[in-house]
Amino acid sequence: MKKLTNIIFILSIIGLSTNLIAQNEQKEFKRHNFGIGVGASTFPIIQNYSTPNINLSGMYSLTNAFAWNVSLKYDFKLNKTISFSFEPTYINQRLTYNDIVFGYPSINTYSTLPFSTSELSLPVLANFRIKLHDNVKLLTSLGVGGTYYFEKSKNIIEGDGIAFTLNNINYYSAYRNVSLNKDNSFSYNFLIRTGIEIEAKHNYQILLTYRFSPNKNYYYSDKDILGFAKYGNHFRVTMLELGFNIFL
């Protein structure tokens, strides 16, 4: 009987200890998590915008375009494996427009005009975690969101003045006005993400995010020297972003 009592006592101690450990782990588990993030990308990673024109109607290029972003993070954890996050993100895109210019004696060339546009992305993501080490997890995410464009029309060139001077010859822009336009001020996109999450005093994430919009929402328009408007083909922009997040 004494031996049985000792066994029961030992099992009770083990059970109590296990319960206390579980309670402590439950206290450490945070359902509501807030953070900030920064990211950068070059694009397009897929040449899925319209082919540049090769005549005096102008041409454009997104090659070597660049974007940076800052974001706020709210992550709601169902458990240690699955969570849902809402990440309002400000994105600044830096693009270029190659303007065809001409002058006497009938020489055509191109003038590169840099400009930028701004937008607000509002994605919701489902996040899944796989433990790789004690405090290191593989994080993958799938999401969908809306994008609001602060500038539905971004003016690039005003007037038809001198573009540049070479060998005492003035070269003039072929346009009175050129702008980058969007069909709608609001569109939607999809996100796929993968990376590493490190759990410490603060949680850190290093992530690659692919943003894709099914809509060809962008197009260029211009007015020639006679004032006639011309419209370019529609195209879309895709991004592969490298980002860093910290949760407080």
Buried b (16+ CB within 10 A) or exposed e, 101-111: bebeeeeeeee
pLDDT tier at 72, thresholds 50, 70, 90 = very high
Q: What is the pTM of this model?
A: 0.75
Angle at 41 between CA 147 and CA 183, to 5 degrees: 30
25 to 9, 18, 135: CA distances (angstroms): 24, 11, 14
- Both tokens of 73, joined, read 């993070």
Residues ≥6 apart with Cβ < 8 Å to 36: 70, 71, 72, 73, 245, 246
- Bridge partners, 189 (sequence order): 145
Q: What's the CA gap between 239 and 95, in Å, rounded?
A: 13
pLDDT tier at 24, thresholds 50, 70, 90 = very low
Buried b (16+ CB within 10 A) or exposed e, 210-245: ebbbeebbbbbbbbbeeeeeeebebbbbbbbbebeb
Among 238, 35, 24, smallest CA distance to 127 is for 35
Average pLDDT for 100-127: 75
Contact 193, 143 (CB under 8 A): yes
Domain ranges of the chain: 1-30, 31-247
The answer on pLDDT for 158 being more than 90 is no
Residue 220 has what pLDDT? 80
pLDDT tier at 55, thresholds 50, 70, 90 = very low
Query: Which range is least confidently modeled, 25-34, 50-59, 76-85?
Result: 50-59
Residue 169 has what pLDDT? 64
Residue 50, classified by CB atoms within 10 Å of its CB into exposed (0-12), middle (13-18) or buried (19+), is middle
Average pLDDT for 96-118: 66
pLDDT in tens, 177-188: 778 888 889 999
Residue 79, classified by CB atoms within 10 Å of its CB into exposed (0-12), middle (13-18) or buried (19+), is exposed
Q: What's the farthest any 2 CA atoms get from each other in the chain? A: 113
Residue 61, classified by CB atoms within 10 Å of its CB into exposed (0-12), middle (13-18) or buried (19+), is middle
pLDDT in tens, 162-215: 556 667 766 655 555 778 888 889 999 999 999 999 988 889 999 999 988 888
The answer on pLDDT for 82 being more than 80 is yes
CATH topology of domain 31-247: Porin (2.40.160)
- Both tokens of 147, joined, read 């994008």
- Cis preceding-peptide flag for 214 (omega within 30 of 0): no
